[in-house]
Amino acid sequence: MSRRYLLTAFAAALACSAAAGASAQDAVKIGFILPMTGQQQSTGKQEAAAIKLYMAQHGDTVAGKKIELIIRDDAAVPDNTKRIAQELIVNDKVNFLGGFVVTPAALSVAPLSAESKTPEIVTAAGTSIITEKSPYIARTSFTLAQSVVPMADWAADNGIKKVVTMISDYGPGIDAEKSFSAEFKKKGGEIVEAVRFPLASPDFAPFLQRAADQKPDAIFVFVPSGQGGAFVKQFIERGLDKAGIKIIGPGDVVDDDLLNGMGDAVLGTVTAHIYSADHNSPANKAFVDAFEKANNMRPNFMAVGGYDGMHLIYEALKKTGGKTDGDSLIEAIKGMAWESPRGPVSIDPQTRDIIQNVYIRKVEKKNGQLYNVEFATFPAVKDPVKAEQK
């Protein structure tokens, strides 16, 4: 069936559902689509925990309306994501869609968001292009270029000359590879090899061997949240750390969820990212304490994306006085600014992408636990990919 036909069928279903359900809605429905099973389930678990924490802390009534949260499992399979989004829009008549842990899942829903004028709040996926695919998409996660351009600057300024890039072969990995390589070369660095491996169940060993043979100063790596443990384990097993090769990259590989299990071999690893559980601010200390108490685990950057996504939804409803049409909500979202556990953030009114600090961090031991300790800040970074297009 063609995409056009499917969209037409969706539009027809939408019209019927609007006619049938035109009664006044006192509740606001928020449908989060998250992978609670499958390869990306660690992210689903982090996001769901943060979303529920936000509601527990801020109540379930906003602008006089009751908030109804629906969480559905897509196992990060885009066909599921799309089918579930369609059900949520047509049957449940949700006012917001949220979540989207992998880029293909976020992209699969964009035409439905545009057609039905439903705000799609992307709280996890990071490929730059996502927000361009529907005027009703806004993002509280990050883009890969946001972190990797500062990473390239830091690496070039700190004696790293030869790099092999290693990435998961899909949207965010390709964004990371491109933006890092362009900036690093501009600063005089050399990319000696660019390695790509499949997103699903990668065996990193042969790829790591290829990288090691080049004797680089560092390997720049992007793997999605949840795969860092396996990557680092094989990096160490093959002796790359002992050979003096450093790991650099966006912080996904040394995700707070897994960092403690990686062992002392990762001490000193420098990455660039938007969030560390160790971020030194009262807002973050309160967030981490409450999250750990409620869930018995450390929040990672994905949890913060979910928490901020709920904040964006609550504040948008306050600004519209409870009006729930997509146009009013997306206007309310544009330009919104707040203090996140990660630091100050805002939504770029032009791109609906998040503007945020990027921190350079080093793995250190604190009270017997491993943390990414921030030591330098690139303030208020806009997505460099979109900034370049202007």
Per CB under 6 A, residues contacting ligand PHB are 102-103, 125-127, 171-172, 224-225, 252
> Whole-angstrom Cα distance, residue 89 to residue 302?
24
In the complex, least distance from residue 327 CB atom to ligand PHB, rounded to whole angstroms: 27
Least Å from the CB of residue 203 to ligand PHB = 19
- Closest CB 22 distance from ligand PHB, rounded Å: 36
Instruction: Identify which of residues 31 and 104 has a Cβ nearer to ligand PHB in the complex.
Output: 104
**Smallest separation (angstroms) from ligand PHB to the CB of 226:** 8
Within 10 angstroms of residue 319's Cβ, the number of other Cβ atoms is: 16
State both tokens at 293: 């108490």
Measured from the CB atom, the residue of 46 and 340 that comes closer to ligand PHB is 46
Judged by beta carbon, residue 172 or residue 326, the one nearer ligand PHB is 172
Residue 154 to residue 380: CA distance in whole angstroms: 17
**Closest approach of ligand PHB to the CB of residue 126, in Å:** 4
- The packing angle between helices 282-295 and 301-320, to 10°, is 110
The total number of residues written for the chain in this structure: 390
Nearer to ligand PHB, 39 or 95 (CB): 39
The CA–CA distances, whole Å, from 255 to 25, 110, 227 equal 40, 28, 9
Point out the residue whose Cβ comes nearest to ligand PHB: 224
What beta strand segments (E) does 35-151 contain?
A: 61-62, 65-73, 96-99, 120-122, 137-139
Looking at beta carbons only, is 252 or 278 nearer to ligand PHB?
252
Beta carbon of residue 40, minimum distance to ligand PHB (angstroms, whole number): 7
CB 277 within 8 Å of CB 258: no
Q: Which phi-psi region, left, alpha or beta, contains residue 110 (left: φ > 0; alpha: ψ -120 to 50)? A: alpha
Of residues 73 and 315, the one with the C-beta less far from ligand PHB = 73
